[in-house]
Structure 1
Amino acid sequence: MQGDSDIRVLDAVKALAFVGDLSMGQPTDHSLRTGWLAGRLAAEAGHDDAQCGVVKEVSLLRWSGCTANAAGFAEWLGDDIGSRADMLAMRPGWAGADESPGRFGAAITPLAQIHCEVSGEVARMLGLAGATQVALRHIFESWDGAGFPHQMQGGNVPDAVFLVALAGDIEIFSRIYGVEQAKVLITQKAGRQYPQALAQLALSRAAKWLDELEQWSTSAHDEPLNTQPMLQTSAPEIIADVIDLKLPWMAGYSRRVAEASAACCARLGLGEETARRVYLAGLIHGMGRAAVPNAIWNTPGRLPTAAWEKVRLVPYWTARAGKQIGALARESEIASLAYERLDGSGYFRGAAGDGIAREGQVLAAAAAWVALRSKRPWREALSPEDAATLLREQALAGRFNADAVSALISNECDEYDGSVIAQKPRCAQATLLSPRESEVLRHISLGASNKEVAKALELSPSTVRTHVESVFRKLACSTRAAATLKASMLGLI
């Protein structure tokens, strides 16, 4: 992978925190505020600087696995976003509360396993401390041993898990119900979710900390949450891969848009710096997708008006991300132009003509080019020829930049191998998995069941299962979401 597009780990973490907050139905500064509170709580509880740093990192990444199990929550409860927001707020009668303990545990355990494995992998890929990785892999365990997915007893659970859970509860409960009711709810959870003594410490300081938190300015968001590992650099592709995990049929989509966009810039002679910006914008242009429930994305027919309005806000949320991730502000602005059209028929701004930056025009054409050739729940993938014909027609109608469209569908653009595009490590692809394992992995990464893979590849289901188990073993993971994430970062899919 080329290092020209690398970003600070802190900026990748903040982007993932933004996506996670949207996915959990929280305000987009929830994880930042939780990190601030968790850091204060850890210091007050006597933890050293290293542990306080771990707590901050865990706070920002604790929802980084929630795109990976969004499909499971949608299947279980219908609305993967609203149901999780209700669960965090402990609202009476939230859908999961109606389940019997046995049925609830059976439903939540595999979802927790997916979440924990993916968030731990994210921390590992970002180069964060082993303690951060371990805490994230156990983020839903509880003090009384009734947590998920392993029902570990309190003394075996990393302290960071309790510190972050308690800080998150303070942030959510006080915001929704006020400080006094927050104290009541935390008291109810004390001794079960987190240690009694830690809860008492937090309750004695909560009002003061919340007052200080309100004074915490947006411009200061980096300094109190920064840790030494987050000063390093990271490949930005991890953001794209986590975004795409929300919808299995989107696997690899954001990377392909980024690559097509950068290739188009090179073909148009826009310069390496412009290509780099547009490449990064392509990677992150789907951040706002996390705010829309999976049920809407999976709708096979025409969307109702209310659902369509949520979709129209996707680029708005992407633009908002730039306000929170200052280092990616320009790229987020470009990313938010992905669905604008030159004739003013796009969204969310309804911008037209020169009101859409050249970088945005390239990105919009590239996103459409990749999407048309990808299968969606409401249509089959178009052939390259049919996609090219349709995109040319749209350009002639004044919706897309004609030069960008021509560049995208040219053979020279397809063969572009520019320095800003992350190169996949072909040596890993050639040696880690067998050709058949790679084929099976590509199918399951797009959400296919073993039975569907067996039919597509003309294999028996038991043979497919054997290949899947081998892939998991070689990638050192136990869930399809984690296998997809790791394989994507290794260049295997």
Structure 2
Amino acid sequence: MPPASGSPGEETAPWGGGAYRGGVDGEPPEPARLAELVAALSLGIDLGFGQPMEHVLRQCLIALRLAERAGLDEQQRAVVYYTALLINVGCHTDAHEQAKWFGDDIAFKSRKYDGQPYGLRGAIRGIRLLGAGSPVLRRFRIGLEFAIAGHRDVDRMLQYHGRLARSLGERLGLPYPVLDALTCAYEQWDGRGWPGERAGDRVPVAARLAQIAEYVEVAHRLGGVTAARRTVRERAGRQFDPDLARLLYADAPLLLADLGAVGTWEAVIDAEPALAVVLTGDAIDTALRAVADFVDLKSPYFLGHGTAVADLTSAAGVRVGLSRAEISQLRRVGLVHGLGRLGVSNAILDKPGPLGAGERERARMQPYLTERMLRQSPALAPLGRLAAMHRERLDGSGYPRGLTGTAIPLPARLLGAADVYRAMREPRSYRPALDPEEARARLRDEARAGRLDADAVAAVLGAAGHAVPRRLDGPGGLTRREVDVLRLLARGLSNKDIAARLVITSKTVGNHVEHIYAKIGASTRAAAGLYAVRHGLLPEDEPAKMG
């Protein structure tokens, strides 16, 4: 699927080829298809919308069937394929802000399919959810703040979802037609979508097909063919392309047949149009790193966490003498270990106070969800099995399975120690980042208490002690002070909080923020966070002292 000829100003990486080189020395590895990675990510998107797993996979099948019925050729259907799998991937990038305004971000997004998502009804439903789960007085304050400035934040969030999805597509090397369709993920046929720059057939057909398939999948799952037909009839000519709506209405029994009976994963992987994209060599690391960085955007407290854990874990693997193949696998496990956070609400991840019993149980689902997302891919399943162990502890106090002692392999012990160390070195909603010495002392305490492996802790601390300081200034023409502001802005701090932290005025911070956004081409916290991670500004680190 080459880029469309004549696409203005667009230069995309070519599709990859070859085979994934990983696994154990001397054993032929399973090939890693890009379709498998994107399909696995789509399972996390399902969780983030409060939908059952494989919702996105089913919408992909519907979109492909409708595309074939509409007469699209194989190259066009390949564009539809990746657009349908990724069209909602940008929605989790501002889950922090969604939780701030509406409480549980997953519960908020799950209401997307209840009724008209746009216009007056959608706005009224959103207002009713402001401050959900908070005391009455706090809900009033949140409502007042939303009326003053918050509604503009939400509008910008919607405008940027498509652009952020496109940015992931760029890093995955997807060609221009897919990127263009992802940019238009929330445009409508009548021009009243987001950002509202296109209407009618100026919206790429792949985006039109993916959007109608998304809503039809939910309607059909809940109410059968009758509900699916009602959905397209009600939205035709407004949200949906009327011609595509008529096609689906007429052929609904055929297009929606067997959706609940087929093996959805296998059907979607086998349905990839054109030549299957197989990642080779470093391409798998590049793709996994792109996905890890993108998933970490879900919370300002986890920006760059996956990449940092992967780098630290692989460096620790060198110190304990693992083979090159084992270190390569360990790096990839580090990159995927946090994917399950997509299924945990930011009302929990970003909560400034202690978690309740029910909240703790939801948070403890993260490792299991990571494994669940990856287990259907032959190439990714081994990574998921190791990633699921990063919260296990030698004394059996960990989760999700309460493994003990030798049941936790060395790579998982290294990953667990690296994850703890990096978490302590990063700020969290309930505490600031710990300095290197304090983090080292606490990690050693975990080893002394018998929860973490002492050799793994020593290897991780050794690797951290030889860390290279990250760049402090320069990308995009940012000044040193602008870099400081960008880091705090990306972490979700307000202008007032940034001013207090840097001992400058809020007005000065506002000027810096304006200059930063102009220089890096962003206007939301998530977009600024992605820029900071991609340019090595987050997570901020310092070399630890040896000893």
TM-score by length of 1: 0.89
Amino acid at match of 2:439: A
Q: Which residue of 2 aligns with 1:98?
A: 125
In 2, Cα distance between equivalents of 1:227 and 1:75: 43
1:414 to 446, 465, 487: 465
Distance 1:11 1:467, change over 3 A: farther
In 1, Cα distance between equivalents of 2:515 and 2:322: 45
Give the C-alpha shift of residue 492 in structure 1. Answer: 4.1
In 2, Cα distance between equivalents of 1:26 and 1:238: 24
Q: Which residue of 2 aligns with 1:324?
A: 376
Q: Which residue of 1 aligns with 2:166?
A: 120
2:485 to 420, 427, 440: 440
Q: Which residue of 1 aligns with 2:82?
A: 57
1:161-310 equivalent positions in 2, closer than 5 A:
161-213=207-259, 214-216=261-263, 218-225=265-272, 230-232=277-279, 233=283, 235=286, 236-310=288-362
Distance 1:444 1:38, change over 3 A: same
Deviation digits for residues 32-83 of structure 1, max 9, x if unmatched? 2211211111121122222211111111111211221212221232121112
CA contact under 8 A between 1:79 and 1:295: conserved in structure 2? Answer: yes
Distance 1:303 1:416, change over 3 A: closer
CA contact under 8 A between 1:67 and 1:242: conserved in structure 2? Answer: no
Give the C-alpha shift of residue 477 in structure 1. Answer: 3.1
Distance 1:94 1:326, change over 3 A: farther
Give the C-alpha shift of residue 26 in structure 1. Answer: 1.9
- Structure 1: give runs of 5+ residues left out of the alignment: 418-422
1:275-424 equivalent positions in 2, closer than 5 A:
275-410=327-462, 413-415=464-466
Deviation digits for residues 83-102 of structure 1, max 9, x if unmatched? 21121243999985535899
In 1, Cα distance between equivalents of 2:522 and 2:276: 24
Q: Which residue of 1 aligns with 2:181?
A: 135
Amino acid at match of 1:402: A
Q: Which residue of 2 aligns with 1:29?
A: 54
**After the TM superposition, which of the residue ranges 474-483 and 241-250 deviates more from structure 2?**
474-483
In 1, Cα distance between equivalents of 2:497 and 2:472: 29
In 2, Cα distance between equivalents of 1:253 and 1:37: 35
Give the C-alpha shift of residue 164 in structure 1. Answer: 0.5
In 2, Cα distance between equivalents of 1:128 and 1:218: 21
Secondary structure of the equivalent of 1:400?
coil
Distance 1:427 1:48, change over 3 A: farther
Q: How high is the sequence identity, in percent, across the aligned residues?
A: 35
In 1, Cα distance between equivalents of 2:218 and 2:455: 49
Give the C-alpha shift of residue 343 in structure 1. Answer: 0.8
**After the TM superposition, which of the residue ranges 447-456 and 56-65 deviates more from structure 2?**
447-456
Distance 1:157 1:100, change over 3 A: farther
CA contact under 8 A between 1:26 and 1:85: conserved in structure 2? Answer: yes
Aligned length: 484
- Structure 2: give runs of 5+ residues left out of the alignment: 1-19, 23-30, 129-145, 539-547
In 2, Cα distance between equivalents of 1:365 and 1:28: 30
In 2, Cα distance between equivalents of 1:434 and 1:454: 17
In 2, Cα distance between equivalents of 1:392 and 1:91: 54
In 2, Cα distance between equivalents of 1:181 and 1:4: 46
Give the C-alpha shift of residue 327 in structure 1. Answer: 1.8
Q: Does 1:14 align with 2:39?
A: yes
In 2, Cα distance between equivalents of 1:395 and 1:384: 17
In 1, Cα distance between equivalents of 2:430 and 2:344: 17
In 2, Cα distance between equivalents of 1:323 and 1:368: 24
Amino acid at match of 1:14: A
Distance 1:49 1:480, change over 3 A: same
TM-score by length of 2: 0.81
Q: Which residue of 2 aligns with 1:71?
A: 96
CA contact under 8 A between 2:219 and 2:228: conserved in structure 1? Answer: yes
Amino acid at match of 2:272: L
CA contact under 8 A between 1:440 and 1:464: conserved in structure 2? Answer: yes
Deviation digits for residues 349-375 of structure 1, max 9, x if unmatched? 111111112211111111111112222
**After the TM superposition, which of the residue ranges 384-393 and 83-92 deviates more from structure 2?**
83-92
Q: Which residue of 1 aligns with 2:514?
A: 469
CA contact under 8 A between 2:426 and 2:433: conserved in structure 1? Answer: yes
In 2, Cα distance between equivalents of 1:403 and 1:41: 56
**After the TM superposition, which of the residue ranges 69-78 and 311-320 deviates more from structure 2?**
69-78
Amino acid at match of 1:86: R
Secondary structure of the equivalent of 2:481?
helix
Distance 1:142 1:229, change over 3 A: farther
Amino acid at match of 1:146: R
In 1, Cα distance between equivalents of 2:475 and 2:121: 48
Give the C-alpha shift of residue 107 in structure 1. Answer: 6.7
Distance 1:177 1:30, change over 3 A: same
Give the C-alpha shift of residue 228 in structure 1. Answer: 5.0
Distance 1:340 1:65, change over 3 A: same
In 1, Cα distance between equivalents of 2:272 and 2:474: 37
- Over the aligned positions, Cα root-mean-square deviation in angstroms equals 3.0
Amino acid at match of 1:440: V
Give the C-alpha shift of residue 154 in structure 1. Answer: 2.0
In 2, Cα distance between equivalents of 1:275 and 1:428: 31
Secondary structure of the equivalent of 1:440?
helix
